[in-house]
Amino acid sequence: MNRIFITFILALFAYTTLYAQQDSIIKLETVTLSDVRLKNAADKTIIVKISDSILQNQNGSLTDLLRQHSTLYFKEYGLGMLSSVSFRGTNSSQTAVIWNGININSQTTGQTDFNNVGLGGFNDISVKSGGGSALYGSGAIGGSVHLQHKIDFKKQQTFNLSSTIGSYENYIQSGAFTIANEKSYFNGYVRHQAAENDYPFLETDLKNDNGEIENFSIGYNTAHKLGKRDVLKAYFSYFTNKRNSSRTISVPTKSRLDDKNRRFMLAWNRKATKTNYNIRLANLEEEFKYYENKRKKHLFSGSEVSTIIANADVDYKFSHKLKVKGAIDANLVEAEGDNIDKNIRRSIAGILSVNHKPFKGFAYNLTARKEATNTYKIPFIGSFDLNYKPLKWYKVGVNGSKNFRIPTFNDLYWEGLGNPNLLPETSYQASFNQFFTYKKSSLQLAAFYIDTKDMIKWTPDESGEWHPQNFVNVKNQGIEATLQTELRYKKHRVHISGTYVYVKAIDQETDKQLIYVPLHKFNGNISYHFKKVTAFYENVFTDAVFTDGNNSTSLLSYSVSNAGISCNIALGENTFTLSGKVNNIFNKKYEVVISRPMPNRNFLISIHYKYN
């Protein structure tokens, strides 16, 4: 353990990096994931996995969860409001969010609002650093976030009911059940949250007026084995999110944003001796309505987008050393809105991927993708990834890729302002990764470099009209570190985890750091388990960020801590968990986005009932 720690420190100071992998995604044969591309043999740049146990006790948003447990930085416009991500210093449309293998970034904005993702439907979240466009398509430049439901053909019957009450009239109720045997699996869930969210703005006379949020999610995840080789799966999720738009320090507001997202996917998997087939058909619907004055219900603007996705993957195993994947992705997107004329985008992509393990401990992957659309040209892209594990506790890897991000419907077609001649953004990147594992401890470090060209930016022309153009070139470089360790003494168990990221994201034209990209971000989590009691303390430190292009103004850095305790009471097959949590325990005043204060100290109390 000592030696590993010293190596870590040396490595850090020498500006080299290590890389580690925590859990093998494919460790459980009985578990099936729909995201078949994620378990690609050599492709293991998984930085963070968030397990079901953390997810089950989650009473915040996906933003809260990932901010606390991954290297991701979120630009959250006040609690529960719009939340856009920056991964390795890239912008919000350069992180792909993958739902059970399907890219769900909004077609109108190109990004995922992490406060507009329904919770309850997934039991596994993986955060993968680095370019993944070859497999996941547009937007996987900084990395990708995989939201999944693992299906486990194990005889089980579980019920979960949970209720949370929090400060500022925050009420969360959720329920889920799973019934399964060796042949069939069914999971259903429902979750509702309503919050007044009117926390005071510290050191002012103001409070978070017009900050009410209400969201509802419902869905199911089901699978059935058809004979020995075939599995049929269906996933459904429906999410509505009604949010008033919080006031700022200087702007009273009365607007409201309503979102609806519906996703359905049917997947078929056939496993033969040497061949593995996966076919997926999905339909995604996204809709939003913006009311400038929430009381004038007849006056709104909005858009509706419908996406149909068809994927087919074929894996062929030449030997245990060599596997080849061929895949086809077809997409049909139809968007229409008050500011966008009806437009249809069709695209089809072919993917070829090779995994080779020429000798023990050494593996590499080569992937290539060619995509064609009816709207613009997408370059040929590809990636390579190689890993070498010379020692039981040490692994080293290097990967490189070319990635892309397509212009959004807003970029292309916004009434009178959009630019139909936009090109996709392209980026080259490389990452050098090392990782150490020792018993229950792991340490991963990565050094990365991203060069993005033709970035799309909305900018005013000489007459003051804003249009999108491909003209920004940004270079990002930095390091990422993830540490996990567990200490045990008799019945006492202490779990420690943390991530650290350093990133410089420099606009090559102005030579300035991009706005809202902190140089340093750190999070640490420590939990103590003794018998039926768990206590935890967590902290996120975010460095100062610039809020304007000429880097003359910035927001202060902030360090925010939460703490909580929970206790299990088991009565036969029934388990009750009582838990309490204090957010922002030191009552720090901070803003994530300028002029939008975040909550002061606040409390949550939950009761969770589980039957199994």
Partner 1 sequence: MNAKKIIIGLFIAALTFTSCSDDEGVVFQPTTPTTETPLGAYENGVLIVNQGGWTQGNASVSFVSNDFSVSENGVFNNVNDTPLGDVGQSIAFYNDLAYIVVNNSQKIEVVNRYTFASVSTINTGLNNPRYMAFANGKGYVTNWGDSNDANDDFIAIIDLASNTMTSTIAVGEGPEQILTLNNTLYITHKGGYGQNNIVSVINTTDSSVSTITVGDTPDEMVLDSSNNIWVLCEGRPSYAAPETAGKLVKINTTDNTVATTIDFQTTTDHPKVLAYESGYLYYYIDEAIYKMDETDSTLPTNSFISQALTEGDLAIHSGKLYGTRADYNTGDSEIVIYDLTTTNLIQSVDLNTGAYHIYFN
The site for partner 1 (CB under 8 A) is made up of 75, 77, 82, 84, 91-93, 109-111, 248-252, 292-293, 296, 299-301, 410, 414-417, 457-460, 462-466, 510, 514-515, 547-550, 552-553, 594-595
Nearer to partner 1, 243 or 610 (CB): 243
- Any bridge partners for residue 332, and if so which? 308, 346
**What count of residues does the chain have?**
612
Residue by residue, DSSP assigns 73-112 as EEEESSTTS-EEEESTT--GGGEEEEETTEE---TTTSS-
CB of 107 to partner 1, least distance (A): 13
CB of 164 to partner 1, least distance (A): 29
Strands 466-489 and 381-391: unpaired
CB of 522 to partner 1, least distance (A): 24
CB of 291 to partner 1, least distance (A): 9
CB of 84 to partner 1, least distance (A): 5
CB of 371 to partner 1, least distance (A): 23
Nearer to partner 1, 294 or 369 (CB): 294
For 426, half-sphere exposure in the C-beta direction (CA atoms, 13 angstrom radius) is 10
Is-contact 345 378, C-beta < 8 A? no
Q: Determine phi and psi for 584, rounding to 5 degrees.
A: 50, 60
CB of 333 to partner 1, least distance (A): 17
CA-CA distance, 92 to 102, in Å (whole number)? Answer: 18
CA 291, distance to chain mean position in Å, is 28
Nearer to partner 1, 84 or 123 (CB): 84
CB of 304 to partner 1, least distance (A): 17
Which residue is associated with the tokens 């985008």?
345
Nearer to partner 1, 106 or 144 (CB): 106
Q: What type of residue is 168?
A: Y
Nearer to partner 1, 211 or 397 (CB): 211
CB of 529 to partner 1, least distance (A): 39
Nearer to partner 1, 135 or 472 (CB): 472
Is-contact 397 387, C-beta < 8 A? yes
CA dihedral sign of residues 4, 50, 524, 582? negative
CB of 339 to partner 1, least distance (A): 8
Q: What is the CA radius of gyration of the chain?
A: 24
CB of 479 to partner 1, least distance (A): 24
Pick the closest to residue 448 from 433, 463, 435, 458 (CA basis).
Answer: 433
Which residue is associated with the tokens 């350093």?
502
Is-contact 371 338, C-beta < 8 A? no
Strands 596-597 and 425-438: unpaired
CB of 411 to partner 1, least distance (A): 8
Kindly state the tokens that stand for 67.
């901010």
Nearer to partner 1, 363 or 472 (CB): 472
Nearer to partner 1, 82 or 479 (CB): 82
Nearer to partner 1, 410 or 437 (CB): 410
Which residue is associated with the tokens 């070139």?
473
CA-CA distance, 133 to 307, in Å (whole number)? Answer: 19
Nearer to partner 1, 84 or 331 (CB): 84
Print the SS3 string covering 548-575. CCCCCCEECCEEEEEEEEEEEEEECCEE
Nearer to partner 1, 48 or 592 (CB): 592
- In Å, how far are 80, 87, 121, 435 from 579, measured between CA atoms? 22, 32, 22, 35
Residue by residue, DSSP assigns 496-552 as EEEEEEEEEEEETTTTEEPTT--SEEEEEEEEEEETTEEEEEEEEEE--EE-STTS-
CB of 74 to partner 1, least distance (A): 11
CA-CA distance, 233 to 266, in Å (whole number)? Answer: 6
Nearer to partner 1, 91 or 433 (CB): 91
CB of 59 to partner 1, least distance (A): 26
CB of 551 to partner 1, least distance (A): 9
Nearer to partner 1, 465 or 573 (CB): 465
Pick the closest to residue 577 from 566, 585, 588 (CA basis).
Answer: 566
Give the CA dihedral 468, 473, 478, 482, nearest 10 degrees.
Answer: 30
CA-CA distance, 508 to 241, in Å (whole number)? Answer: 38
Nearer to partner 1, 2 or 250 (CB): 250
Helix H or strand E encompassing 442: strand 441-460
| Helix (H/G/I), strand (E/B), else coil: 133 | helix
Helix H or strand E encompassing 263: strand 256-271
Nearer to partner 1, 18 or 104 (CB): 104
Kindly state the tokens that stand for 159.
């019920």
